[in-house]
Amino acid sequence: MHDSLKFPFSSEDRLEPEDAARALKAVEALIAGYKERFAVLVERDNKGHSIIHEPVVDYLTELRWVLEDMHPADLAYVLEALPLEDRLLVWDQVKSTLDGAVLLEVNDSVRETLISSMDRAQLVSAIAALEAEQIAELAPDLPRDVVEEVASSMPLQEREQLRAVMSYPDDCVGARMDFEMVTIRDDVSLEVVLRYLRRFDELPDHTDQIFVVDRENIFRGALPLQKLLVNEPDRQVIDVMHQDVLQLGPLDDVGEAAQAFERYDLVSAPVVDAAGKLVGRLTIDEVVDVIREEGEEQVLAGVGLREEEDIFSGLWNAVKNRAPWLLLNLLTASFAAFVVSRFETTVEKIVILSALMGIVAGIGGNSGNQTMTLIIRALALGQVTPSNIRRLVQKEFLVTGFIGLGGGLIAALFAWTLSRSITLGLVMWAAMMLNLLVGAAMGLAVPIIRARMGYDPAVGSSVLLTFATDSMGFFIFLGLASLFLL
Amino acid sequence: MHDSLKFPFSSEDRLEPEDAARALKAVEALIAGYKERFAVLVERDNKGHSIIHEPVVDYLTELRWVLEDMHPADLAYVLEALPLEDRLLVWDQVKSTLDGAVLLEVNDSVRETLISSMDRAQLVSAIAALEAEQIAELAPDLPRDVVEEVASSMPLQEREQLRAVMSYPDDCVGARMDFEMVTIRDDVSLEVVLRYLRRFDELPDHTDQIFVVDRENIFRGALPLQKLLVNEPDRQVIDVMHQDVLQLGPLDDVGEAAQAFERYDLVSAPVVDAAGKLVGRLTIDEVVDVIREEGEEQVLAGVGLREEEDIFSGLWNAVKNRAPWLLLNLLTASFAAFVVSRFETTVEKIVILSALMGIVAGIGGNSGNQTMTLIIRALALGQVTPSNIRRLVQKEFLVTGFIGLGGGLIAALFAWTLSRSITLGLVMWAAMMLNLLVGAAMGLAVPIIRARMGYDPAVGSSVLLTFATDSMGFFIFLGLASLFLL
């Protein structure tokens, strides 16, 4: 049966975007074959027959073959998509030389499961093969002594690089930079540069420019490879190099650096310290990761998830990830319920209010969330400035007021249909309008104030908003009803 | 006063990620100065004094200077952050040679405002300077006859490229590819390639590899620039080039292509048609745009916004963007209200139910949204496969059940505090559990079924989910209360 399985791709085939998905299918089929056969064998054994090991081993051998030629990123993809038990079966078959590279590619929670399945020696040998900045990336998930053992056996320069990267906060350029750059002096000809480059076996990935420094390693400029290639070899570096290159500081915010990469379509940028010394470089692959992470964080934060969840992560991890936000929502919902309970006599007399009040609260929250999402985005792009904030506020209230007029009318008609009371309809209309304005006010104020105070405006803002629109929605609607209908 | 304003950056200064923000501040200050002075002049004029034009013109001249040296992307950033009136004032000062490049960089709604301020001749001259694929990108926002006029004056080859790009759906690689690539044959030496490259004035942006084709333009492989540089010039292209390069088809999904770029850390990839011919290339800057757009779409879709809104867009556009989703929510909330109204007698007898029922509905929706967000993400990454879907479902129900046990207990205690009824507490507990499971079921089913049917699982899913958890939450809670408390 399993002979019909095609190896997902070989180097003669063309690589395609769907390759990883095909590899996953092949791996799943092999694991299924392995498990099935294994189960059959165990059954036979219970009946007293002897165990034939070979067919099972066959599946594992073929699995190893499949895994052997896979790109570490594809392996990471396959491991992420497998349930824990299958994941560890596959992980045991991965060649140990790839271990470090795969650990770099998998997401945090899968990385945890893989690392906890490895012993100290395996970890040390997996990590030792990596570059300083890669080790720094894995360090938070590794046992402290493993990192130290690896560091102690590194050359002095790399050890210092490792310390440097690990010393910067996670959201700084310094924590994301690498050190694999080619540097030259400015007083040589392109011919000399070309000869110098031929002494390399290969250039670091994403080398689109060579950095020009002086004797003290002070950054002078950059020589794009394309300039090196289109200019005559007898020209001097100083005449050809670019001096107005985007330079990053190690403490620059990495999100802002990413925006600069996007704006100027960069592939790499030098990282230069306060003294003007070239200390590293940031490359587009890290920037792509940053952009992806930022997008995901915002999506996850929107529903109160603190981190990406391994879809097969343990029950306890998943509960820990999700419960705090739900608990917070439970508290705010309870407060809203408390508000309603204060209007017990009103609701007792006009029961239909209990059906209608949820509409007022809900739409206020929905509309406020729209406002808030747009403001968070404008804040992230730096489009909210002291001089335009008044117009922004004006516009939001106008739009919301307009929507409130229309939406409130529909809600009022619905209220009238249920109750046949024109006064109740008018109360509904007024309450909708007012609560939509509460939503707009909160949608504007919460992210702007949080950003001013230095917090990430995306996280937790929607809980605060819903808290306000729920409680205020009930209060406004039931309050108006008490005034005009009792 | 305005003399103290520093030009935001000059080519001797180092470029920094904050430059665009500084430029924005300078532009805002100049506009403010211009307006203030202008207002003063007009006032004087009303009093019968003569108008002194110069100081106002000064501000405009300085504004033009500031704008002149700005990168098109920075100009786009500034234009996006300005209110409409100021935006058009700045836009009028931008050198017309930059117009096309800036139009490419601004977001859709700002682009609309800029284009509608330009006359036909201005548009034609702005567009004519662009590459075929750039014109194709702008085409949907341009008057049809402008595109045709520009196309008719293009060389035949470029016109064909324009047609090709415009013929592919927006989410295909073909619609995002460009044609600026360097191609060589495989039977020459690197020396010949080096000499060939020196005949260019410059290489296209993001040229990290040169494509190798045969006489029929069939794709044979790629020669990375770094291989060209580290190998001896007398070696042959065929010995040095890579053959196992990721190849994209023009009809491949651009999101999947972006994932491949991320996985394999690519800077460019050839686009090859079904016959094996090289037709174009995709570069990392387009991929970064795709990733950013995808992240934003998901965030916007989460609150029912159809498109990014220009923060100063007209009232009507904003209402059109936001109202449909709010209307949909109004309908689902009204349905939920209708469900509640069917339990009028129950609520009349036990008024406190009206306060508590919102908790059951709300938490079900919140928890379901967490499940749904994780599933949508797993679907996007292709991690949901037929063989693991059962375990996924199992896990979600387990996690939700566990959270329901704990959260339900807290809610039950709250219900007991308000009502002093143990039965009501138990009803609350049971209703919470059940509605959380409804949320989990919907959070799983809605995106998976939508994806199976070929829809984008992110759009509109949350409305469907909230519809279910609200209506079912009220129904379950009030239903159980009617059974056990009346």
Q: Is residue B2's pLDDT more than 50? A: no
Contacts of A338 in chain B (CB under 8 A): 355, 418
**Residue A157 CB neighbours (<10 A):** 10
For the stretch A207-258, pLDDT in tens is: 999 999 999 999 999 999 999 999 999 999 999 999 989 999 999 999 989 9
More confident: A416 or B7: A416
Which class for A404: exposed (0-12), middle (13-18), buried (19 or more C-beta within 10 A)? buried
Count Cβ neighbours within 10 Å for each residue of A217-250 and write b for 16 or more, e otherwise.
bebbbbbbbbbbbbbeeeeebbebbeeebbbbbb
Contact B247 A14 (CB under 8 A): yes
Question: Beta-strand (E) ranges in B190-330?
Answer: 209-213, 219-224, 268-272, 278-283
Whether B287 contacts A267, CB under 8 Å: no
**CA–CA separation, A294 vs A301, rounded Å?**
10
Q: Is residue B244's pLDDT more than 70? A: yes
Q: Could you say which of A207, A305, A362 has the minimum Cβ distance to residue B329?
A: A362
The predicted pLDDT at position B3 comes to 33
Contact A374 B309 (CB under 8 A): yes
The ipTM is: 0.83
Backbone CA torsion sign across B301, B302, B303, B309: negative
Q: Which residues of chain A have pLDDT under 70?
A: 1-19, 37-57, 459
Q: Could you say which of B201, B363, B418 has the minimum Cβ distance to residue A329?
A: B363
Half-sphere exposure of A85 (CA within 13 A, CB side): 6
**Would you give the DSSP letter of residue B107?**
-
Contact A231 B198 (CB under 8 A): yes
**CA–CA separation, B246 vs A14, rounded Å?**
7
Map out the domains of chain A with their CATH numbers: 2-171 (1.25.60.10), 183-302 (3.10.580.10), 315-485 (1.10.357.20)
Query: Cα dist. A125→A97, B126, B483 in Å?
Result: 8, 58, 65
Contact B388 A82 (CB under 8 A): yes
Contacts of B387 in chain A (CB under 8 A): 28, 32
Helix-strand-coil split of chain B, %, nearest 5: 65, 5, 25
Whether B178 contacts B281, CB under 8 Å: yes
Q: Is residue B11's pLDDT more than 60? A: no
**CA–CA separation, B458 vs B134, rounded Å?**
29
Which 3 state secondary structure label does DSSP give B348?
Answer: helix
Q: Is residue B8's pLDDT more than 60? A: no
Contacts of A206 in chain B (CB under 8 A): 208, 265, 267
Whether B345 contacts A316, CB under 8 Å: no
**CA–CA separation, B343 vs B182, rounded Å?**
73
Distance, C-alpha B20 to centroid of its chain:
20
Q: Could you say which of B318, B354, B374 has the minimum Cβ distance to residue A399?
A: B318
**CA–CA separation, B348 vs A156, rounded Å?**
78
The predicted pLDDT at position B39 comes to 61
pTM of the predicted protein model: 0.83
Q: Which of B326, B369, B429, B463 to mutate to test the interface with A (most CBs of A within 10 A)?
A: B326
Measured between CA atoms, the residue of chain B closest to residue A199 is B230
pLDDT band at residue B7 using 50, 70 and 90 as cut-offs: very low
Q: Under 8 Å CB-to-CB from A453, ≥6 apart: which residues? A: none
Q: Could you say which of A226, A329, A362 has the minimum Cβ distance to residue B333?
A: A362
Measured between CA atoms, the residue of chain B closest to residue A81 is B383
For residues B129, B131, B132, B136, the Cα torsion angle rounded to the nearest 10 degrees is -80
The predicted pLDDT at position A294 comes to 84
Query: Cα dist. B107→A86, B41, B168, B289, B358 in Å?
Result: 45, 35, 21, 11, 40
* Backbone phi, psi, residue B181, to 5°: -130, 155
Which 3 state secondary structure label does DSSP give B278?
Answer: strand
For the stretch B210-226, pLDDT in tens is: 999 999 999 999 999 99
